[in-house]
């Protein structure tokens, strides 16, 4: 599988829809011996300001000599920006390697469990945890939550710090109609 085929496979996951919860993530990551447990992470959630907060934290940590991985969404110019090392997107080859490892696990989950199909975001999240938890360990990983926090697929690791930016009632059709949801 080449880079474009890898991206196509990732993006075609979108058609299966969003099903909040962490069970699929936990199952997939367990197949890789839970790489998320190897990271020292900072979890950033909220409605507005997550990307800016991630950028500020990354800059501060890099300027102080730390090697920092980041996981953000959406990308601005290229898909690879979603997973970056010291502000530099990971390589096309890294994307291909990650997909070649995660695709069979995702297909096995669909075939052999009742958990269903992994979404695009879950696949990319698994790629990030595998990359920073096993392939290229770093001092810190700053993880931007996707949709909500409690049932978000990024909520499968124990952060050393959690940051909540301003919150609103976006995505009430998925997350619920109150701030407590």
**Mean pLDDT within 133-144:** 98
Average pLDDT, the chain: 89
Alpha carbon distance 149, 53 (integer Å): 16
In terms of C-beta distances under 8 Å and separation of at least 24 residues, what long-range contacts does 86-90 make, across chains too? 86/58, 86/62, 87/58, 87/59, 87/62, 90/131
Residue 115 buriedness (CB in 10 A; 0-12 / 13-18 / 19+)? middle
Between the alpha carbon of residue 177 and those of residues 79, 103, 120, 169, 172, the distances in Å are 32, 35, 25, 7, 5
Please name the CATH architecture into which domain 3-165 falls.
Answer: 3-Layer(aba) Sandwich (3.40)
Over residues 50-96, the pLDDT tens digits come to: 889 999 999 999 999 999 999 998 888 999 999 999 999 999 999 99
The full set of domain ranges for the chain reads 3-165
Per the CB < 8 A criterion, the answer to whether 13 and 117 are in contact is yes
Per-residue model confidence (pLDDT) at position 153: 87
Per-residue model confidence (pLDDT) at position 175: 44
Q: Is the pTM of this model over 0.75?
A: yes
């Amino acid at each position: 599988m080449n880079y474009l085929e890898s991206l196509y496979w990732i993006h075609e996951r979108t058609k299966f829809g969003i099903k909040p919860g962490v069970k699929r993530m936990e199952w997939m990551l367990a197949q890789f011996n839970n790489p998320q447990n190897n990271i020292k992470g900072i979890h950033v959630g909220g409605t507005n300001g997550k990307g800016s907060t991630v950028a500020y934290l990354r800059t501060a940590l890099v300027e102080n000599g730390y090697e920092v991985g980041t996981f953000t969404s959406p990308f601005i110019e290229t898909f690879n920006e979603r997973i970056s090392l010291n502000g530099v997107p990971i390589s096309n080859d890294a994307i291909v390697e990650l997909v070649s490892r995660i695709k069979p696990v995702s297909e096995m989950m669909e075939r052999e469990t009742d958990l269903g199909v992994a979404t695009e975001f879950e696949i990319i999240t698994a790629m990030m945890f595998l990359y920073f938890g096993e392939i290229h360990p770093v001092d810190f990983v700053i993880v931007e939550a996707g949709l909500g926090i409690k049932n978000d697929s990024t909520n499968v690791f124990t952060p050393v710090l959690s940051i909540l930016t301003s919150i609103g009632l976006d995505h009430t059709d998925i997350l619920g109609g109150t701030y407590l949801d």
